[in-house]
């Protein structure tokens, strides 16, 4: 059996509005089996995911806050985050207020992040900046801004814009933040080659709904690279 090297980077994600309880249970079972970093589920499914994973110390329970548009009030985001933690979430992916950032209201953006960080009492907070809506200059600016907050990660995208994570954006963010923040590449990561390129560019986590496809492609790639096994003694004898 070939051990996955990429599984530890993956937030196994299911955020479709029609996800059923059965779908969430399967997601969690796959996460336990393959030892993913986390599952990322809708807020209404946090309790179920936490229950499914209560015997797993490996897999975190992640959910989204202010999703997908980010324009909820700070009070609502704080309430969502606090409720998610009460129900068992250990990681919070919050969408920043893109409009506030674009108009230069940086104090609102940083204040909102810090309020959520305070509300979750030490749980991991990832801030979704929606790179597909930002220029390179804006990506650099928000990366600098978030280094001054209590956030743990910058996350690229919600998956609800046309542009997803790109190698160029990951490299840009890494150049700015160094090792002060971690990076989650998310959206349009649909194959093993793309996943590897994100990690090589500096991503610490990958948010993807194509997890099982990526694992299959990884296994195929690793098998192709593996040296041919030496024939056993019995096999050598049978060839005489």
> How long, in residues, is the chain?
240
Catalytic residue among 77, 126, 184, 188: 184
Tell me, yes or no, if 155 is annotated catalytic.
yes
Classify 180 as helix, strand or coil: coil
User: Among 53, 54, 68, 69, which Cα is nearest to 12's?
Assistant: 53
Catalytic residue among 11, 77, 126, 155: 155
How far apart CA 186 and CA 199 sit, in angstroms, is 12
What are 11's two structure tokens? 């937030």
Catalytic residue among 11, 93, 169, 204: 93
Tell me, yes or no, if 93 is annotated catalytic.
yes
Beta bridge partners of 128: 95, 155
How far apart CA 166 and CA 123 sit, in angstroms, is 27
Tell me, yes or no, if 184 is annotated catalytic.
yes
Residue 85 sits at φ, ψ, to 5 deg, of: -65, -40
The residues that are catalytic are 93, 155, 184
């Amino acid at each position: 059996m070939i051990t996955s090297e990429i599984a530890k980077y993956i937030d196994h994600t299911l955020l479709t509005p029609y996800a059923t309880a059965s779908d969430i249970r399967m997601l969690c079972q796959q996460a336990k089996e393959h030892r993913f970093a986390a599952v990322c589920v809708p807020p209404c499914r946090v309790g179920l995911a936490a229950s499914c994973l209560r015997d797993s110390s490996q897999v975190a329970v992640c959910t989204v806050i202010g999703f997908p548009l980010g324009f909820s009030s700070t009070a609502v985001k704080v309430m969502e985050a606090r409720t998610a933690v009460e129900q068992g979430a250990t990681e919070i992916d919050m969408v920043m207020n893109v409009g506030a950032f674009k108009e230069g209201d940086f104090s609102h953006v940083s204040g909102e992040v810090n309020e959520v960080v305070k509300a979750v009492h030490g749980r991991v907070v990832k801030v979704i900046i929606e790179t597909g809506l930002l220029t390179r200059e804006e990506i650099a600016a928000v990366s600098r801004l978030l280094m001054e907050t209590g956030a743990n990660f910058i996350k690229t995208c919600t998956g609800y814009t046309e542009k997803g994570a790109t190698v160029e954006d990951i490299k840009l963010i890494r150049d700015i933040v160094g090792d002060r923040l971690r990076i989650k590449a998310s959206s349009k990561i649909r194959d093993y080659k793309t996943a590897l390129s994100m990690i090589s560019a500096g991503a610490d986590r990958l948010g993807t709904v194509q997890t099982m496809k990526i694992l299959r492609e990884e296994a195929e790639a690793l098998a192709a690279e593996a040296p041919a096994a030496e024939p056993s003694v019995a096999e050598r004898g049978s060839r005489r």
